[in-house]
Chains A and B, each alone.
Chain A
């Protein structure tokens, strides 16, 4: 098996349809993101309360924009750039306009599993249309496979996947508008 710290290799395998590699990549990146975002929020003089929101928003962006990573380049600068963009964007929506640079510590934050992983974020799920929300919940909260969900809801598997993709895009858009 590939070295789990070789994130570029994991993403390449994910692009070829290796779900396990993708899960591993996102799991690892979410730990790193949480540490970086918490540092960034503190640097901006804000508490860690929004941390999990920003982590999820950045993960969504990495997923929806994964075609913008150039496979000939290492993936770390790409991950850092998305984390920075989303953190700055999140803070700007809340009136923080100072310069913020995560590069100083993005490489050295301690990456550990921690309690925040259990934080229930994303009240925004409630803003999705009913069917989209149902499908996201079935797959994420209930842990069902797309084929099972299709059967339960009397849809084709393709339709479930199309709706799921739309739901994720709508979720990303809801984050962009969110100014709580």
Chain B
């Protein structure tokens, strides 16, 4: 086939006008999140003291941090799904780093140094490390499936962002189960729990998001 003939075929083709990627991604995230929510309610459940917890600044800060990651990871997914790589994708995470450092600084300032270690270790570290990756599975699968419509400059980065988004969705659920609300615990263990999800996302993206 000559290139001119190919152009004739391309002009004759009218690609279906799908909805914009961010809407498809939001819908998929919601669907995957619902699957994880069912899993969450069946296995973990909401903490017994949710009522009083809602009124504490530590719980609110925890949920705020997780939702911030969710929003940033979402915009990162969109930005990294295009052929033209964003110039400084890492800078998008700057507000998150700022808030995390601020939260840790306040916590260290308020707490006597003798209790730092126990707040950092909490009592749910192992549950956290298992629950977040598990709850991230369904969101990761659907997010990767949607991102296949993109044309990422780097399929691995795009997959890594998908992993971060899935981990954030999982953490948003897990935050309502875990009663370790100290920023010391949250920043440390939630981040460690997200790492394998980001790694799996990057490896899967490298294979699945090529175009």
Is the CB–CB distance between A168 and B11 below 8 Å?
no
**Residues of chain A lying within 8 A (CB to CB) of residue B83:** 65, 68, 78, 81-82, 85
- Listed from nearest, the 7 A-B pairs whose CB atoms lie closest are A81-B83, A140-B5, A65-B151, A140-B9, A122-B1, A63-B10, A26-B7
Q: What are 6 A-B contacts defined by CB distance under 8 Å?
A: A65-B211, A78-B84, A85-B153, A136-B9, A141-B1, A145-B12
In the bound complex, how far is the Cα of B149 from the Cα of A17, in angstroms?
21
Report the minimal beta-carbon distance from B85 to chain A, rounded to whole angstroms: 7
**Residues 1-20 of chain B, each 1 if its beta carbon lies under 8 Å from chain A, else 0:** 11111111111111110101
Is the CB–CB distance between A117 and B16 below 8 Å?
no
User: Interface residues of B, CB < 8 Å — how many?
Assistant: 30
Interface residue from A61, A119, A139 paired with B12 (Cβ < 8 Å) = A139
Report the minimal beta-carbon distance from A154 to chain B, rounded to whole angstroms: 19
Is the CB–CB distance between A81 and B211 below 8 Å?
no
Q: Does chain A have a CB within 8 A of B82?
A: yes
A contact face: mostly helix, strand, loop, or mixed: helix
- Chain B residues near A (Cβ < 8 Å): 1-16, 18, 20-21, 81-85, 149-151, 153, 210-211
Interface residue from B6, B10, B18, B21 paired with A122 (Cβ < 8 Å) = B6
In the bound complex, how far is the Cα of B6 from the Cα of A118, in angstroms?
12
**Residues of chain A lying within 8 A (CB to CB) of residue B20:** 67
Is the CB–CB distance between B15 and A119 below 8 Å?
no
User: Interface residues of A, CB < 8 Å — how many?
Assistant: 48
In the bound complex, how far is the Cα of B192 from the Cα of A129, in angstroms?
48
Is the CB–CB distance between A56 and B6 below 8 Å?
yes
Interface residue from A55, A67, A143 paired with B3 (Cβ < 8 Å) = A55
Residues 15-72 of A contacting B (Cβ, < 8 Å): 17, 19, 22-23, 26-27, 30, 34, 52, 55-56, 59-61, 63-68, 70
Is the CB–CB distance between B3 and A56 below 8 Å?
yes
Is the CB–CB distance between B2 and A121 below 8 Å?
yes
In the bound complex, how far is the Cα of B82 from the Cα of A81, in angstroms?
9
The listed residue with most A CB atoms (<10 A of its CB), out of B8, B11, B84, is: B11
In the bound complex, how far is the Cα of B11 from the Cα of A139, in angstroms?
10
Is the CB–CB distance between A165 and B16 below 8 Å?
yes
Q: Does chain B have a CB within 8 A of A77?
A: yes
Q: Does chain B have a CB within 8 A of A131?
A: no
The listed residue with most A CB atoms (<10 A of its CB), out of B20, B82, B85, is: B82
- Chain B, residue nearest A86 (CB): B211
Is the CB–CB distance between B3 and A68 below 8 Å?
no
- Chain A, residue nearest B7 (CB): A26
Is the CB–CB distance between A168 and B10 below 8 Å?
yes
**Residues of chain A lying within 8 A (CB to CB) of residue B13:** 63, 161, 164-165, 168
**Residues of chain B lying within 8 A (CB to CB) of residue A121:** 1-3
Is the CB–CB distance between A26 and B84 below 8 Å?
no
In the bound complex, how far is the Cα of B211 from the Cα of A85, in angstroms?
9
In the bound complex, how far is the Cα of B2 from the Cα of A49, in angstroms?
14
Residues 112-134 of A contacting B (Cβ, < 8 Å): 117-122, 125
Q: Does chain B have a CB within 8 A of A174?
A: no
In the bound complex, how far is the Cα of B4 from the Cα of A67, in angstroms?
22
Interface residue from A19, A23, A81, A168 paired with B85 (Cβ < 8 Å) = A81
Report the minimal beta-carbon distance from B128 to chain A, rounded to whole angstroms: 36
**Residues of chain A lying within 8 A (CB to CB) of residue B82:** 68, 70, 78, 81
**Residues of chain A lying within 8 A (CB to CB) of residue B210:** 89, 176
**Residues of chain B lying within 8 A (CB to CB) of residue A63:** 10, 13, 15
**Residues of chain B lying within 8 A (CB to CB) of residue A81:** 82-85, 153
- Known contacts A121-B1, A161-B14, A165-B13; is-contact A61 B8 (Cβ 8 Å): no
- Known contacts A81-B84, A85-B153; is-contact A120 B12 (Cβ 8 Å): no
